[in-house]
Amino acid sequence: MKSSAVAVIVALNLAVGYADISPVIEVCNRTDPALAKCLFEVVDKLRPNIASGDFGENRTAAPLDPFEIDRIDIDRGKSLKASLTNITIYGITGFVLRKIRHNLAERKFNISARLPSVQVKGQYDLSMTILVLKLTGKGPFNMTFNDTLVNLKIHYYLEPEDGRNYIKFHPIGLKIKFKDAQFYLKNLFNGDPVLEQIGNQAINANPHVFLDEVKPALIEKLSKSLTDISNAVVEGSEEDELLPP
């Protein structure tokens, strides 16, 4: 048999064997001694797809950059009441991967990354007490986060269907550590320029008073989106197709 015919047969076999893999993802061999490096490169190359939510062949998820949240409500009684609406987050796909660890026996991965700069915009309605200062206001806000650390705990399972075992992901565990945060809330104290400046200075002097309240809702919504993205990437794929032995 001519070599060209052999090549065609091999190509067709590969096409059939891996027909259900998203065209934007590369396969990593599970016995590769440099598996962590291969996974690192796969995740890194997925940035534009993660941003757009388009993973090819009708595999889609919500875009992650910008990432939109309709509403976050906080009610801690007299000390803090706030509503954040029309929230848009920019810069998530600017992540810098730090490490990927894997435990294939338990079907688990751990990814740590750093977000150099993330911008958040939206609308706020706030009543908050910091020390002896009572902050009130309603209007647009801007937040900037620098050097934010993120850790993802990813765990997949196999779901049988029609004689095949498809990869599915459990809800992704997410941890976020804010290192540097800057806030600016416009129209504090009905837009009084002096009091507005004082109010923002007070918030930025104690950013975690506010961030610690926002973080649980932010983690919940990001975790769901990341899980949806992961399932979109592997939809219709088996373990031996994505991680061949």
Say if CB 49 and CB 234 are below 8 A apart. no
Dihedral-angle region of residue 147 (phi above 0 means left; psi in -120 to 50 means alpha; beta otherwise)? left
| Structure tokens given for 16 | 């059939």
7-21, 30-44, 193-207: the lowest-pLDDT one: 7-21
Name the strand (E) or helix (H) holding 95: none
Length of the chain: 245
Per-residue confidence (pLDDT) for residue 204, from 0 to 100: 92
- Would you say residue 146 has pLDDT above 60? yes
- 23 — pLDDT class (breaks 50, 70, 90): confident
For residue 140, whether the previous peptide bond is cis, meaning omega lies within 30 degrees of 0, is no
pLDDT at 115: 96
* Pairing state between β 173-177 and 133-161: antiparallel
pLDDT of 9 strictly over 80: no
Q: Provide the 8-state DSSP code for 103.
A: E
Q: How far is it, in rounded angstroms, from Cα 121 to Cα 88?
A: 5
In this structure, are residues 25 and 233 in contact, taking their beta carbons and an 8 Å threshold? yes
Instruction: Report the C-alpha gap between 47 and 96 in whole angstroms.
Output: 11
Residue 120 structural domain: 3-242
CA angle 29, 31, 34 (to 5 degrees): 80
Distance CA 205, CA 63 (A): 33
Number of domains in the chain: 1
What pLDDT, in 10s, does the model give residues 177-216? 999 999 999 999 988 999 999 999 999 998 888 888 889 9
Angle between helices 193-205 and 207-234 (to 10 degrees): 70
Confidence of residue 19 (pLDDT cuts 50, 70, 90): very low
Strand ranges in the chain using DSSP code E only, listed in sequence order: 67-75, 80-90, 96-103, 108-130, 133-161, 164-169, 173-177, 180-185
- Torsion angles phi and psi, residue 187, rounded to 5: 75, 20
Residue tagged 């540097």 (tokens) = 180
Domain containing residue 56: CATH number: 3.15.10.30
Tokens 């993330």 sit on residue: 118
Are 143 and 180 contacting, i.e. CB atoms less than 8 angstroms apart? no
Query: Residue 125: phi, psi to the nearest 5?
Result: -140, 110
**For residue 77, pLDDT beyond 70:** yes
**CA 9, 10, 16, 22 torsion-angle sign:** negative
